[in-house]
Structure 1
């Protein structure tokens, strides 16, 4: 069974003036539509993590899952929402992807699964290989086991917010991706980033 997929769109997008960053236009679609197109073939089912009125995403046809942890608890809260939903679907794992990262690898899920199997663990994070700094982890792109959802819930309720503190506790594997030629996990945070994404769209593999 393929893992379920959760697209993390619950960020506050403060550097873009607020709102749903994934709805920003990119090429013939939006940031979110590019993410959906890349993730859909890699997973068995897919949902969107976002807070507020879910009707604004009705056109995607995806279930919209709000955070179950009060306050803005960051990406791990979105992962937890995905894990709870995936448990209802009978899935054993979820793969997360950020809604503002339109060029992530089309073999992301396979590589995460291989890394987890290689290291004998149920959690894996993606990373970009940097020539100077080595593997730079991408904590919003990961493989997460449904079996650890209660452990994650307890950690979040205790105030944990940093992804790698929780993944390190559970011995997460790393799946490293080389630039192709740019960082495949380039994400849009500012208007300048969005303009750069338009340029990259012409050369993205």
Structure 2
């Protein structure tokens, strides 16, 4: 009988990412992941429902970071200012020392259509959750949806820049820059009114 090993989920995640990156996601089994760190397949499935979940473990903390930002925004903040607070809060989950890990993880996801779909679903779910939190603060239906969807898009663009080779800026700085670009674009928009 295998004895309890501290830090098993983290060890399994690290091993899985290394194997996915070197051998390919489809070519790597849960058993191989577990065996590579001296654990059993049973231990693997005690922590993760399948090998895909190794890449998406931590989703709750990711969503909570956005919600914490929404909750701690000043009471008189505009919807987009609340989103800016949420982006700053989420960026705290991605310190510079995590950049290499995030880069490798994203590379694995990009090579597999099912994983790309799961990642897109994760971001869509995040936008829905943030929009609900904005509505709970009294933001109107359309404004909450627009702000949340915009915030999710900003995060995605900033994250893609953050993991690029050679990038040195923090995710918080990149998020603020991308959000600033969005605000600049929307300031220049004049919506023509229809006549009739």
Q: Same fold (TM over 0.5)?
A: no
Q: Does 1 or 2 have the higher relative contact order (CA < 8 Å, sep 6+)?
A: 1
Could you tell me the TM-score, scaled by structure 2's length?
Answer: 0.26
Of structures 1 and 2, the larger Rg is shown by 2
Could you tell me the TM-score, scaled by structure 1's length?
Answer: 0.26
Q: When you count strand as a share of all residues, which structure comes out higher?
A: 1
